[in-house]
Each structure stands twice: as C-alpha cells, then as structure tokens.
Structure 1
C-alpha cells in the first residue's frame, strides 16, 4: 500500500494565517513555509492557477523545504481552458490575451505554446529536486467527454511527459456509470492520476464521491 500524504491547499491560506497556527517570528513568507513543511509533507500551490508561477519562487521553495516534501502545482488557467484575463499573464504577453469578456475567447496557439514553455521553466526546479508531487489540471464544468476533450488531454499529457500528472474533472458525465470505465482507461493510458472531489451529492453537477484507484 502506498503512503497517504495529508496537506492543505496553500500555506498562505487566509484562514490558516489568521488562525494563529504560525508562531511569532515565523510569519513572513520564508518562516511560514518552513514551519508548514516541518509539520505536513505536502501542499497544493493553487496560486499557479491564477498567475504563471515563477522559477525563482520554485528555487526558494526547494531551499526552504526538506527532502521528501511535495508541492502539487495547479496548472495555469489558460492551460486548462478557463477564462484568463490579461492581468493574469506576464506583462509582455498581455496584449496577446484571449479576446472576449474576461478572456473567455480561445487562446492563440502561439501564446499557448509560450505559456506552456514558461510554466515548464517555472516548475522545473521542483521537478529536478524531487519536490514536484503532481501538476494538477482542474478542468472547467463545460469540459465534457468527447473527441475534442480527449485530444486536449492527449496534448496535455504530451507536453507534460515525464511529469507527475493529475486530472480533475468537474463535469459529472466523465464519471457517469456508463462512461466511467472509458474515462478510467483514458487517464490510465495517459499516465494520469485521477483526482477525487468531495462535494454535496444529489445536484445536477455532483461528482461521485468514490473513484477507481
């Protein structure tokens, strides 16, 4: 049986910071991460979804955590098909942001390639140091089963070859009983880990609480 690692979605979560868990003298950026990593073995970097991570941050995270600690980095919104506002992109790429209200239009392929390259460069120190637990691709509710989505997933797997890849669906049809085996086989063929979601049941968008391992 494998190990079960328990952690939080961020070591800078507002409620966590406000709770008093971090002692005096360890409430700056470095102190919080060191304190967290001494007590828990894994953390999700959800900030990667909202803005492209930076390589320098990854280097600092490696320096401030012990061997065996893991960062699960959430993929940037543009890489999962979510709306991406110009302000979320690096300054030199903002004039190439997807058109439409709140960046809801399709991304230019050249921009997508550039963003993929910068994302890979940013997380490389974590991967090289053995600190990368997974790169989490959380897809939007409108990412439905079918050929276009499967091609998108295959492209993600190709671009992240050699990375630990985790996939979270938010449309229930992926895990509908009639489709579940096909979804599992697809992710297994891509070497991707399935992400389970704990959510209220009985709603139109509810995902099942249990998924195949």
Structure 2
C-alpha cells in the first residue's frame, strides 16, 4: 500500500516564491518538487508527444518511491467513436512513457464533459488499453465528466478490467466513488486562494482520513490537487502529506 499526493505539472510561474524558493533554477524545479511531494500528474502529454529521453530525464530527477501519472493524448479520447482510437492509443503509449520505469504510476484517460456513456463503444475503447507496454505493467484511470456515466454498466466495465474510475472533487463533474481497481485515483479541485494551504485544516483532516480509507486492503492511492486556486495546490499537497505522515 502507498499513498501518493501531488499536483498537476510542475512548471507554473506563480509557484515561484510561494513554492519554489526565490532564485531557484527553473531547470531544477522538478527535482525540488520531487523532494517535497510524492507524485505529479504530467499534463503536457495530453497536448503533444514527448521524446523518450525526456521521460527518462524526468524519472532521474525524482527520488525512489515518487510516482508520475501521465495524462493520455486528447487525440485518443476526444473523438466521436472511441472504438476508432487504436492508432492514437498505440502512438501515445509508444512515445516513451515506459522510460519512467518504476516511477510510472497510472495513465489518466480524460474524456470531454460532453462525452456521453455509450456502453458498446466505451467497452471497445477500454479493450484497446493494454495491460503492459514494453514489459512494464500499466494501470489505467478513467476520468469521465458526464452524468450519463453514473451507470452500473460503466462501473462493471471498469471493474472487469481493473481500471480505476477517477474520483472528482468538483461541483462540475459527477462524483463516482466505486472501488473498481487495485488502486484509487482522485483529483481535488476546490483549493481556495484565501486559505494559505488551499484547504482548511478540517478539510485536510477529512482528506487524510479518506485517503487512508481508500488504502484499506492494500490499495494504492493517487491523489492530486488540480485546478481551483492553482497557486495554493503545492501547499495543499504538502499539508496533506504532513498529515498522512503523522
């Protein structure tokens, strides 16, 4: 069992000062983040491909035990017929993601808020997602954002394939809290700029308890502070890590 807590990305100018020390070299920001967080969701891969050497350099910048989740290409998920995504899925996974090695956490497949649940098409898409790549086991997290996915059939499809349904702490998207995999993936989107740690102390206590509950039975947990008052997300992640450590 492990609980990884982090943020989305690591390059964000407003974090220079509140999170990164003044004068800290920008090229070493990932190294710094890796020393103070236990996970990062890589978002740039949603928009374009990276070189294998880039993934390898990211892995080298963070310590043992750190985990990256990798957001899958929008070209695989933003389409009318998901069943036609084979080429995009293969291209995304073949770009060098596995160069992250032991630091590779789940692959995040995010779907548009307008994408409705169509069982057969969605099942065909899930069948395109391999269990391994280059000999490395893969974990898949599914972030759906339309209410039509609040359907037992969707939960069954995810559970049959050991894929996690992303828990979204948001007023905009459905909250589906179903244990469909041997890990849990949560994206917290309510940080506030008027709170130094993004979430107040009581809220952080609740999330620490929730993370421990999700981890019962040996399930790994990946929890990322995303959106909301983005400038506060590193502080929120650090505060939660401290509570989990205690």
Structure-2-length-normalised TM-score: 0.63
Partner of 2:124 in structure 1?
151
Secondary structure at 1:167 match in 2 = strand
Q: Is 2:105 aligned against 1:133?
A: yes
Q: Provide closer, same or farther for how the CA distance between residues 167 and 138 of structure 1 changes in structure 2, counting only shifts above 3 A.
A: same
Q: Provide closer, same or farther for how the CA distance between residues 65 and 191 of structure 1 changes in structure 2, counting only shifts above 3 A.
A: same
Q: Provide closer, same or farther for how the CA distance between residues 170 and 134 of structure 1 changes in structure 2, counting only shifts above 3 A.
A: same
Partner of 1:86 in structure 2?
none
Counterpart of 1:116 (choices 82, 90, 97) is: 90
Q: Which ranges in structure 2 are unaligned for 5 or more consecutive residues?
A: 180-246
More contact order relative to length (CA 8 Å, sep ≥ 6): 2
Instruction: Give, in angstroms, the shift of residue 4 of structure 1.
Output: 2.5
Q: Which ranges in structure 1 are unaligned for 5 or more consecutive residues?
A: 83-104
Partner of 1:90 in structure 2?
none
Instruction: Give, in angstroms, the shift of residue 46 of structure 1.
Output: 0.7
Instruction: Give, in angstroms, the shift of residue 157 of structure 1.
Output: 4.2
Instruction: Give, in angstroms, the shift of residue 114 of structure 1.
Output: 6.5
Structure-1-length-normalised TM-score: 0.72
Q: Distance in 1 between matches of 2:38 and 2:124?
A: 34
Q: Distance in 2 between matches of 1:15 and 1:165?
A: 31
Report 1:28-43 matches (<5 A).
Answer: 28-29=26-27, 31-43=28-40
Partner of 1:79 in structure 2?
76
Q: Distance in 1 between matches of 2:132 and 2:77?
A: 13
RMSD: 2.6
Q: Distance in 2 between matches of 1:133 and 1:114?
A: 20
Q: Distance in 2 between matches of 1:164 and 1:23?
A: 34
Q: Distance in 2 between matches of 1:148 and 1:118?
A: 20
Partner of 1:163 in structure 2?
138
